[in-house]
């Protein structure tokens, strides 16, 4: 495998009962790349993330990170190997402060000592626009701040591969532009990103490549321009008939 490849997925398959929701999906993610994932509701995008993070076990296929297999690793091991993710519904520890929420992955996943973790987490809170909320209990944050905290928590584990699941929804244009800038900065620092997003203009502003799923099947993969001009993508995702 090329040294350029960070994550490799081969024939990934997930079934729920008789329904195949991720169907023989193969793709690579290069180091330092932002790969966008598009597809209609129910296409299998979040399930694909669950297979990568280990929240769900695959029924078939192979996954490797940095050239070594992931399938047998439980989710916490995958975090320690450098996979961080956000969830569509933010899942903070509600009775801990925003800062404490970050200290957990910084110390447990990224294995930082307390003093280093503390500095690192303060930097992330600043990057994510949450420094003023550092001592607020996560359960008392607004929805927008909970979404920011979800991203900050994923970053606190120092991921080399960051999985972002629809983090731009509900943001104002200015907040969306800030988010795109933050994602660019993360990529410039060497974080590889896979981003599921329905807010197309945000995704297209930063994605190097895009992969499109429909009914669990990969129907297109390529540069944003190429993919958006693909007649099948236009039909499936945008309802445009040729």
Ligand X SMILES: Nc1ncnc2c1ncn2[C@@H]1O[C@H](COP(=O)(O)OP(=O)(O)OP(=O)(O)O)[C@@H](O)[C@H]1O
- State the Cα–Cα distance between residues 100 and 133, nearest whole angstrom: 11
Looking at beta carbons only, is 2 or 41 nearer to ligand X? 41
Helix (H), strand (E) counts: the chain? 9, 10
Looking at beta carbons only, is 57 or 132 nearer to ligand X? 57
Looking at beta carbons only, is 39 or 92 nearer to ligand X? 39
Member of 35, 43, 130, 202 binding ligand X (CB under 6 A): 43
3-state secondary structure 199-223: CHHHHHHHCCEEEEEECCEEEEEEC
Size of the site for ligand X (CB under 6 A): 10
Member of 4, 11, 26, 42 binding ligand X (CB under 6 A): 42
In sequence order, which residues have a C-beta less than 8 Å from that of residue 220 and are 6 or more positions away? Answer: 210, 211, 212, 227, 230, 232, 233
Contact flags string 14-33 toward ligand X, x per CB under 6 A: --x----x------------
Minimum distance between the CB of residue 21 and ligand X, rounded to whole angstroms? 4
Backbone angles phi, psi at 224, to 5 degrees: -55, -45
C-alpha Rg value of the chain to the nearest Å? 18
Query: Do the Cβ atoms of 96 and 149 come closer than 8 Å?
Result: no
| Residue 109 makes contact with ligand X by CB under 6 A | no
Minimum distance between the CB of residue 117 and ligand X, rounded to whole angstroms? 32
| Residue 135 makes contact with ligand X by CB under 6 A | no
| Residue 53 makes contact with ligand X by CB under 6 A | no
| Residue 45 makes contact with ligand X by CB under 6 A | yes
Which residues of this chain interact with ligand X, rule CB under 6 A? Answer: 16, 21, 39, 41-47
């Amino acid at each position: 495998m090329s040294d350029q490849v960070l994550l490799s997925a081969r024939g990934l398959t997930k079934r729920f009962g008789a329904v195949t929701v991720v169907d023989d999906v193969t793709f690579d993610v290069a180091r330092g790349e932002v790969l966008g994932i598009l597809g209609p509701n129910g296409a299998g995008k979040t399930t694909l993330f669950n297979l990568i993070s280990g929240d769900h076990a695959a029924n078939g296929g192979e996954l490797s990170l940095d050239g070594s297999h992931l399938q047998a690793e439980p989710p916490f091991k995958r975090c320690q190997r450098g996979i961080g993710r956000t969830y569509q519904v933010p899942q903070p520890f509600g009775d801990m402060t925003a800062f404490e929420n970050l200290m957990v992955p910084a110390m447990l996943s990224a294995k930082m000592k307390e003093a280093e973790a503390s500095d690192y987490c303060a930097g992330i809170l600043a990057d994510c626009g949450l420094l003023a909320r550092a001592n607020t209990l996560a359960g008392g944050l607004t929805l927008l701040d909970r979404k920011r905290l979800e991203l900050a928590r994923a970053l606190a584990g120092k991921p080399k591969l960051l999985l972002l699941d629809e983090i731009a929804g509900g943001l104002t244009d200015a907040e969306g532009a800030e988010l795109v800038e933050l994602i660019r900065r993360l990529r410039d620092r060497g974080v590889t990103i896979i981003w599921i997003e329905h807010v197309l203009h945000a995704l297209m502003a930063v994605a190097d490549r895009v992969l499109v799923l429909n009914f669990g099947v990969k129907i297109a993969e390529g540069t944003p321009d190429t993919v958006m001009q693909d007649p099948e993508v236009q039909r499936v995702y945008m309802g445009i008939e040729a």
